[in-house]
Amino acid sequence: MPTVRASLAPADRFVTRHIGPSPDETRGMLATLGYESLDAFIDAVVPADIRLRRPLALPPGRTEREVLQALRGLAAQNQLYRSYIGMGYHHSFTPQVIQRNIVENPGWYTAYTPYQPEIAQGRLEALLNFQTMVADLTALPIANASLLDEATAAAEAMNLTEAVAKVPPGTTPMFMIAEGCHPQTIAVVRTRAEARGVQTVIADPAGFEFRPGVIGALLQYPTTDGKIEDYRALCDRAHAAGALVTVATDLLALTLLTPPGEWGADIAVGNSQRFGVPMGYGGPHAAFFATREAHRRHVPGRIIGVSRDAAGRPALRMALQTREQHIRREKATSNICTAQVLLAVMASMYAVYHGPDGLRRIAERVHTLAVLLAQAVTRLGYRVVHSSFFDTLCVEVESSVLPRLLDAARARRINLRVISPTRIGISLDEATTLGDLADLVTAFSLNEVLPFMVEDLGAKAGPSIPESLHRTSSYLTHPVFHRYRSETEMLRYIKRLEARDLSLTSAMIPLGSCTMKLNATTEMVPLSWREFNRLHPFAPREQATGYRTLFRQLEDMLAEITGFPKISLQPNSGAQGEFTGLLVIRAYHRSRGEGHRTTCLIPTSAHGTNPASAVMAGLDVVPVQSDARGNIDLADLRAKAAEHKDTLAALMITYPSTHGVFEASIRQVCEIIHAHGGQVYMDGANMNAQVGLVRPADVGADVCHLNLHKTFCIPHGGGGPGMGPICVAAHLGPFLPDHPVVPLRQQQPCGTVSAAPWGSAWILPISWAYVALMGREGLVEATRIAILNANYVARRLAAHYPLLYTGQNGLVAHECIIDCRPFKASAGIEVEDIAKRIIDYGFHPPTVSFPVAGTLMIEPTESESKEELDRFCDALISIRQEIGEVEDGTQPRSNNLLTNAPHTLADLIADAWDRPYTRERAAFPAVWTRAHKVWPSVSRVDGAYGDRNLVCVCPPMEAYALAAD
């Protein structure tokens, strides 16, 4: 009975929740564009010769309830053991006020990178707290606002070292890695060093000689097996030889130990995960990076700095951006773009919540437990290898006893670290109880009855932290780490910061190339489940069956969507994916005896990460020009490919192009590169225009990365986390990255690129859920509506602003660029003025000045309704009229609605008002702004002031008090 079956179909479909426009609105937009149907419209946009002519081989979409059930099933297959494996990952309690109001709060997790500081002061303050926390605990004054993980942070430190340390001409630079570093850190640093032509040597630092050519050293403090070493003499030797010392360290340990900045280290890096962030089977977590004043211009990643606004009030914004890839491209200090903002915010809030005294109590408690454990296992006849330790013990175990010990531990659902056949590592943490300790000791007694009570042991053994390394300096003295101890105060602090920021909870964020689509609640809910967030990344395989199944299924989904059979989930950002893909290409060429292929062609319009990643992978960048229509200049490409045919390694290309156009020549482009011996790397940043319509593999690419945080719904978190898995053709499969602790069994791996084997595993259920919810039809529908929305916006705005670049039939792909350059001459108005005025209308501005200076790039995504698109277009059209008033002289060229934007409440209610327009027009330029808008909390931020006077830790409170006077 088909009718009954039809009426019993699910009453609610997720697709209609994810996609903004209703069927009626879709028809209306198609009519505006002059198309009868969505099919006809898509045929007009996407070149026919690259279309996928069949449905994706994926299941149909499922309801939210079904998908949550399926994820519950997968979660149930993960087993929660108590993990004492350590190696940079520890159990930690996330304060519930942080869990509910940050991790589970779209006000925080749907915001974007704070490029518009006037509507981002909340998370900028949280990040400044993070930097202050790191600078204080490490005693190194310049800290950044997070990196991807500890291992890549160590590799970035090596890059900095290479940039500032000099080697005699003709010598290969050499970098020493202490044998006491975590194995995953060693593997990542070696991979990065090898790509850059830096030689590495693993050594015992005690006897290491800093010969000429040695640029620096990487140490671990405490070491991976727990030992606390005094590195002062080593630092002296290094500095005498002109070398830099980097130390990977542990923030909790630094509450008790002499900080690296006080014993001579030049750079400190590490993972802030144990500050209230779950292990999540490997990430995401915020790594930190701090260094001395002298190296501030070589620091990788975002630095938040204090500046002032137009009214002279303190205001925060990203500082020294000229270091970064989006400006300096192949000369950048690093390719990093996405950081780990949400996780850095969590860690900083953990420090705000506990304060220095609370953190110290946690550290002392963990240390006391470790001391008790050391005494207990000593009483049982074991030898504790290092007499100095913080939270990690290295215990000698006879090889004949080891299997029985591991069995006894397993029976108690305990994971230990097997360091060698005769050594066991045990790392204790915030979550360890006395009962846990008793269980551990019983395992070590091989299930015999204990001859003592653990709590009776007393902590009266010899000093386990050397006297010379006791911390004496204070830290976290700023009031922010003392004011918010009660939950009421903490809650209000979190909410106060949140209220200063514009996220997707209040308006669309039409940032071109960033794909700020819906991050559905159902996709996010599983992150709160302990079966997903409590697993240690190096837990035995069989405890993570649910995760493994999820990875395999997600890989299958992505393989079908891209057409590439092999996938690595290891890269934990888009830029990291680019680097990995290029390493894979290099490894492939080498395997064929063509290691000399090191030229990488990159269009001038590419994202800055492309050239920066190519340089990191040891490639030489050769730019390829764009033609007048914004397409890759085929003649120039042919010429460059032919000129470099003997050394051509790869072309990096974004599709649709960074100009937001489906270039009709893409197949030809790939053929030209292949004909000259190169591989084609496709940057997947714009994949949202391809899913279900075009597959990278089918048009001729060999590798692509996917920004799961764009197309596949992982939220941007205010500037991270991201995930950048790479998908490769069969011939490149053997070269995918492997992992030293959790072997992935790749045949000829290109190395290791992330600290954790599957990158940021914790957030992969989000993308899995998105694909499962949308299904084969829903995914294609999303792509089609994303393209429709962009073209609708382009059409409405084209009558008011020049539209830069279109593809066939005058249509754009999933984003469009409007040209604001003419207003500089006609009205003295810069693109920046327009962007800031958009804030007054309650929106986040689009991407400013990329890929073309003086333009705005708008990407609405499929999730925005027609009503929201119309509101946004109305705002831009109204702004065009405001520009007109300046052009015709009604408003002066300076001191007008645009040059003074954005307008804060403080500006508007000031007693004096000397502007040639009303307060009303300034504040409520459109009718909807009266009902609701996010107000900028500061006026236009003066970027130059802050860059000339760099302050990247919390300023004293008097600074705010003075400004208020």
Partner 1 sequence: MANIPADLRYTKEHEYVKQTGADAIVQIGITDYAQGELGDVVYVDLPKVGASFGRGDVFGTIEAVKAVSELYAPLAGTVTEVNQALEGDPALVNRDPYGAGWMLKLRAKNAGELEQLLNSEAYKKQIGQ
Binding site for partner 1 (CB under 8 A): 297, 321-322, 327-328, 849, 943-944, 947-948
Pick left, alpha or beta for residue 708 (phi over 0 → left; psi -120 to 50 → alpha; otherwise beta).
alpha
Q: Report the residue number, 32 or 322, with the smaller CB distance to partner 1.
A: 322
Q: Report the residue number, 99 or 321, with the smaller CB distance to partner 1.
A: 321
389: which residues sit within 8 A by CB, 6+ positions away?
222, 226, 227, 228, 370, 374, 464, 465
Q: Report the residue number, 174 or 817, with the smaller CB distance to partner 1.
A: 817
Q: Are 105 and 442 in contact (CB under 8 A)?
A: no
CA dihedral over 91, 94, 99, 102, signed as positive or negative: negative
539: which residues sit within 8 A by CB, 6+ positions away?
81, 83, 85, 281, 415
Closest separation between CB of residue 944 and partner 1, Å? 3
Is residue 488 exposed (0-12), middle (13-18) or buried (19+ Cβ within 10 Å)? exposed
3-class secondary structure, 36? coil
Q: Report the residue number, 223 or 307, with the smaller CB distance to partner 1.
A: 307
Distance between terminal CA atoms of the chain? 77
Closest separation between CB of residue 155 and partner 1, Å? 24
Q: Report the residue number, 53 or 166, with the smaller CB distance to partner 1.
A: 166
Closest separation between CB of residue 322 and partner 1, Å? 4
Closest separation between CB of residue 633 and partner 1, Å? 23
Closest separation between CB of residue 658 and partner 1, Å? 18
Q: Report the residue number, 219 or 612, with the smaller CB distance to partner 1.
A: 612
3-class secondary structure, 570? coil
Q: What is the dihedral of CA 562, 568, 569, 574, to 10 degrees?
A: -70
597: which residues sit within 8 A by CB, 6+ positions away?
586, 589, 647, 648, 649, 677, 678
Closest separation between CB of residue 321 and partner 1, Å? 6
Closest separation between CB of residue 316 and partner 1, Å? 15
Closest separation between CB of residue 884 and partner 1, Å? 25
CA dihedral over 320, 326, 329, 332, signed as positive or negative: positive
Cα–Cα dist 826/888, whole Å: 9
Closest separation between CB of residue 326 and partner 1, Å? 9
3-class secondary structure, 147? strand
Question: For 338, phi and psi rounded to 5 degrees?
Answer: -60, 135
Which residue, chain included where needed, has tokens 């609370």? 358
Question: 107, 145, 521, 515: which is closest to 301 by C-alpha?
Answer: 145
Q: Report the residue number, 316 or 561, with the smaller CB distance to partner 1.
A: 316
Closest separation between CB of residue 297 and partner 1, Å? 7
Q: What is the dihedral of CA 947, 950, 956, 962, to 10 degrees?
A: -40
Which residue, chain included where needed, has tokens 């943490």? 429
Q: Report the residue number, 76 or 327, with the smaller CB distance to partner 1.
A: 327
Tell me 525's DSSP state.
G
Closest separation between CB of residue 857 and partner 1, Å? 16
Q: Residue 70 belongs to what H/E stretch?
A: helix 64-76
Closest separation between CB of residue 946 and partner 1, Å? 9
Q: Report the residue number, 323 or 478, with the smaller CB distance to partner 1.
A: 323
Which residue, chain included where needed, has tokens 């991790």? 103
Instruction: Report which residue type is found at 250.
Output: D
Q: Report the residue number, 641 or 831, with the smaller CB distance to partner 1.
A: 831
Q: Report the residue number, 241 or 950, with the smaller CB distance to partner 1.
A: 950
Q: Report the residue number, 791 or 855, with the smaller CB distance to partner 1.
A: 855
3-class secondary structure, 601? strand
3-class secondary structure, 562? helix
Cα–Cα dist 300/292, whole Å: 13
Closest separation between CB of residue 320 and partner 1, Å? 8
3-state helix, strand, coil in the chain (%, to 5): 45, 15, 40
445: which residues sit within 8 A by CB, 6+ positions away?
380
Q: Report the residue number, 327 or 905, with the smaller CB distance to partner 1.
A: 327
Instruction: DSSP for 227-289, please give it.
Output: B----HHHHHHHHHTT-EEEEEE-TTGGGTBPPHHHHT-SEEEEE-TTTT---GGG----EEE
Q: Report the residue number, 944 or 964, with the smaller CB distance to partner 1.
A: 944
Q: Report the residue number, 698 or 947, with the smaller CB distance to partner 1.
A: 947
3-class secondary structure, 188? helix
Q: What is the dihedral of CA 628, 40, 688, 749, to 10 degrees?
A: -90
DSSP alpha helix (H) spans, 731-798: 764-798
Instruction: DSSP for 612-623, please give it.
Output: HHHHHTTPEEEE
Q: Report the residue number, 103 or 304, with the smaller CB distance to partner 1.
A: 304
Closest separation between CB of residue 850 and partner 1, Å? 11
CA dihedral over 830, 832, 834, 837, signed as positive or negative: negative
Closest separation between CB of residue 93 and partner 1, Å? 41
Q: Are 682 and 704 in contact (CB under 8 A)?
A: yes
Q: Report the residue number, 824 or 921, with the smaller CB distance to partner 1.
A: 824
Closest separation between CB of residue 853 and partner 1, Å? 9
Closest separation between CB of residue 940 and partner 1, Å? 12
Q: Report the residue number, 356 or 943, with the smaller CB distance to partner 1.
A: 943
Closest separation between CB of residue 948 and partner 1, Å? 5
